[in-house]
Each structure stands twice: as structure tokens, then as C-alpha cells.
Amino acid sequence: MSRLAASTPSNDDEGSSFFEKERDRLTTQIAAAFEDLLSQSNVLNRQLEQVAGVGRDFETVAALWGRFQDLMKEQQAEVDVAATDPHGVPGTGTALAGRASVLDRREEEK
């Protein structure tokens, strides 16, 4: 029995050393996997920031074109109103042409 009792602790030492080695190996693998995960998430984060940055760049261009479109709509509305005005469309010279014809008519009447 003493041999068994003596051999049992040595088996436990070998078993616990295997356990400790296996634990250390798995801990190292888990740490490496976490480092890889952190690295990949940083890459993903940088790429998402780039995509968001490009989107922000297009927002300013879109706002500029939107403002241009609003301005064109306002001018078109002014032209539509001015076209119905008997004095003509401002900036085209038709108002002056209309006046000249009225002045010419007045002179002809005299």
C-alpha cells in the first residue's frame, strides 16, 4: 500500500502539471484570439469612419445643389409671375421695349 500511496501523489503532480500546461496553452490561445479580435475590430472601425467621412463630404455637396435648386425654383417662379406682368420680364429688356412702343405710340398720336 505504501507504494500505491507514494505513486498516487506523483500521478497527481503529473496530472496537475498537465492541467496547468493545458490551462496555460488555452489561456495563450484565448489571449491571441482576443488580440486578433481587437485588431480586426479596429480595422472595421477605421473603415466605418472612412465611409462616414465620405458621406459627410457628400452632405455638403448635396446641400449646395439643394440650395441651387431652391434658387432656381425661386427664379422660375419670378419669371412666371413676370411673364404675366404687362411690363415684361425684368432683366430681359422687354420692359423697355414695351415702354418704347408706348412712347412711340404717344408720339404718333401727337
Cβ-contact 89, 95 below 8 angstroms: yes
Tell me the C-alpha to C-alpha distance, in Å, between residue 53 and each of 60, 67, 76: 11, 22, 35
Give me 47's grid cell.
473603415
Q: What is the mean pLDDT of residues 35-42?
A: 98
d(CA 24, CA 76): 77
pLDDT at position 4 is 46
> 43-102 pLDDT, tens per residue?
999 999 998 888 788 888 889 999 999 999 988 888 777 667 666 656 666 655 555 555
45 sits in which H/E element: helix 2-84
